[in-house]
Structure 1
Amino acid sequence: LLSQVASLYDPIGLATPAKQKGAILVRKAFQETGGKNLLRDTWDTPLSERLREEAIHLFEEYTRLNQITFHRSLTPVRRIGEPWGITFSDGSDQSYGAVAYFRWETKQGILVRLIESKAKLTPLDQKGEAVKAEVCGAVFAARLRKYIEKHSRIQVKRWLHLLDSQTVLGAIQRDSYGYQTFFANRVGEIQKSTSVGDWRWIPGEQNIADLVTRGATPEDLKENSVWQNGPEFLKQPVEEWPTKSAKDVAADAKEGINRLQSCLTRLIRVIAWVWRAATKWKEMLAKTSTRSKPKRK
């Protein structure tokens, strides 16, 4: 299983979702054979029936990868001006990563081209802490931008970094020295290589980097797929994108808190009214019982 997954050579990450699916399965196999306490003889331990079926299905998918084609020309014909660079990042308890696109304006309309992607398994000690995987995915997005700017001769007009974690988006806007070491180092790297104003929030269902974190089949990566062409909203005017800046997210959060406070205030008033009514009713019952009580002779 490990040799088959490692034999998939994809240096720039065009098929990262398919490769990452295999990496996740390999880790499941290691965990099944003993977790961290791996011995030399565990390499030859047969897979369980469940993992064996998953591995066979994975090998069948890998054989279909040679049918997938990708556009290797990042500069389309009849283009107008310079492209925008768009990155998507995501993280989960299984994996985290990022993917980068060029958004070109051409005489035929908007054209989006896949550049590259990068992913890595989430450390086992970070399971259950999705925000750590999210911030690691954001770091990968910043590194992709830095790599493209360094090695590509294409001048990018503007960069936008999209992610679906409002927590990470808010953390990027603040000074990194206010966090613990894990977050401080990563937020600091993001702030050093990117502009905090370039980061935007998008709904989770619009985040194409989700394919990186959970894996995908070859059919999900074929030509004209969402993976190769990016989400459909990228072809629309920027004003119509389902994105929010950190300022907009903070305003929505403040509005939500205000609504919650208003609801709590009304709830407190209702509880106070019921409490007063119950107290008065209790006093009336006590007076009534006292008057109706017969006097002893």
Structure 2
Amino acid sequence: MTYCAKITTKKLQYGTCTVRLPFKDPNVEYGNTRQVAAARLTQLERRFAMDTKLQQKYQEFLDEYLEMGPMRKVHKSDYNQGKYYIPHQPVVKEESLTTKLSNKISLNNNMLTGPRIQQDLVIILQLWTNGSEWDQPVDEKIKLKWTKIQQQLKTIDNIKIPRWCYATPGKKVELYGFCDASEKAYGAVIYCRAQDSDKTYRVTLLQAKSKEAPNKQKTTLPRLELCAALLLTQLMEKVIKAMNFNEGEVYSWTDSMITLDWIKEEADRWKTFVANRVSEIQKLLPQAKWNHVITNQNPADIVS
């Protein structure tokens, strides 16, 4: 049995067990999650008003959970006792009337298993490389990194990203993508630059993505920079399709001159690893204008 299982599993009478959520720190503050969950519930009620069959199935699901015991009704006097309020929604396959409804949310930001944010994953890789066990104290350097991440989690409620990118018919719109890599990770970020009515420009963040660098099979930094360029290209293609962005300029930026040289030449000029990735970049996004950006001015640097 792993250390995680030992600290989260409690044996009850009659051979049954209860397993609590494996929080890294039970004292982490999540902000006002009840308000968010209540807003989602209001949206769900509007959905039920238009789909009575779904409402009936959902009610049957809740009744079954109440009867079986995994769920209980909470009285108004206990509303403020919850640590984390999870918005629940029905997930059902339309082609099957007998498909069970389920809850597909998680608390991975504060779980011992399956961390999702990039720095978490980098730390886990470091622990794995060092051969650390679950019950073994980490070294001071890793401890400081995790403490910093934990403190930053509390500021998530203060982050606000506009959902509207000011892209409307008749306005000049451009997409700007940046990519970067390090020996630990690589990533990409895309911005929309739209002309406003007074001929000023508004820039908004559209999407970002990152990946861990291969750990078992080490590769060179220039190759990782090329992987970042491919990731940006794949991400940009998805954004263009989602926005129906048929007109307008597309610009891609990297701080690697080697990557730029690779992309601007014919793919068959290079060896297999480089040729395959350059070929896909040129095929997916032939209209992109590739440029060089200074490292300290590259917004994708924080991703890697």
TM tier, shorter chain? 0.5 to 0.7
* Residue equivalent to 1:181: 272
TM alignment of 1:48-59, pairs within 5 A: 48-59=139-150
Distance 1:94 1:146 in 2: 25
Structure 1, unpaired ranges of 5+: 10-17, 35-41, 214-297
SS of residue matched to 1:136: helix
* Residue equivalent to 2:35: none
SS of residue matched to 1:74: coil
TM alignment of 1:201-220, pairs within 5 A: 201-213=292-304
* Residue equivalent to 2:181: 91
* Residue equivalent to 1:19: 117
Q: Does 1:33 align with 2:131?
A: yes
TM-score calculated relative to the size of structure 2: 0.58
Shift in alpha-carbon separation, 1:48–1:60, aligned structure 2, 3 A: same
Distance 1:125 1:180 in 2: 22
Distance 2:217 2:170 in 1: 45
Shift in alpha-carbon separation, 1:173–1:50, aligned structure 2, 3 A: closer
SS of residue matched to 2:151: helix
Which of the numbers 101, 104, 117 marks the counterpart of 2:191?
Answer: 101
TM alignment of 1:136-285, pairs within 5 A: 136-195=227-286, 198-213=289-304
Shift in alpha-carbon separation, 1:141–1:202, aligned structure 2, 3 A: same
* Residue equivalent to 1:218: none
Which of the numbers 143, 157, 168 marks the counterpart of 1:66?
Answer: 157
Which of the numbers 95, 106, 115 marks the counterpart of 2:206?
Answer: 115
Superposed displacement of residue 136, structure 1: 0.5
State the Cα deviation string for residues 22-76 of structure 1 (Å, max 9, x = none).
Answer: 2222222222225xxxxxxx33333223322321221111122122111111226
Question: How many residue pairs align between the two structures?
Answer: 197
* Residue equivalent to 1:223: none
Q: Does 1:45 align with 2:146?
A: no
Task: Decide whether the 8 Å contact of 1:80 with 1:105 is kept in 2.
Answer: no
* Residue equivalent to 1:82: 172
Shift in alpha-carbon separation, 1:49–1:75, aligned structure 2, 3 A: same
Distance 1:189 1:128 in 2: 19
Pick the structure with greater CA Rg.
1
In terms of fraction of residues, the more helix-rich structure is 1
Superposed displacement of residue 167, structure 1: 0.7
Aligned partner letter, 2:254: L
Task: Decide whether the 8 Å contact of 2:165 with 2:194 is kept in 1.
Answer: no
* Residue equivalent to 2:28: none
Distance 1:49 1:197 in 2: 45
Superposed displacement of residue 82, structure 1: 3.4
TM-score calculated relative to the size of structure 1: 0.59
Larger RCO: 1 or 2 (CA < 8 Å, sep 6+): 1
* Residue equivalent to 1:7: 108
Which of the numbers 222, 235, 240 marks the counterpart of 1:131?
Answer: 222
SS of residue matched to 2:134: helix
Distance 1:64 1:31 in 2: 30
Task: Decide whether the 8 Å contact of 1:82 with 1:157 is kept in 2.
Answer: yes
Structure 2, unpaired ranges of 5+: 5-21, 25-105, 111-115
Task: Decide whether the 8 Å contact of 2:250 with 2:288 is kept in 1.
Answer: no
Shift in alpha-carbon separation, 1:151–1:80, aligned structure 2, 3 A: closer
SS of residue matched to 2:229: helix
Aligned partner letter, 2:127: A
Aligned partner letter, 1:86: Y
Aligned partner letter, 1:93: E
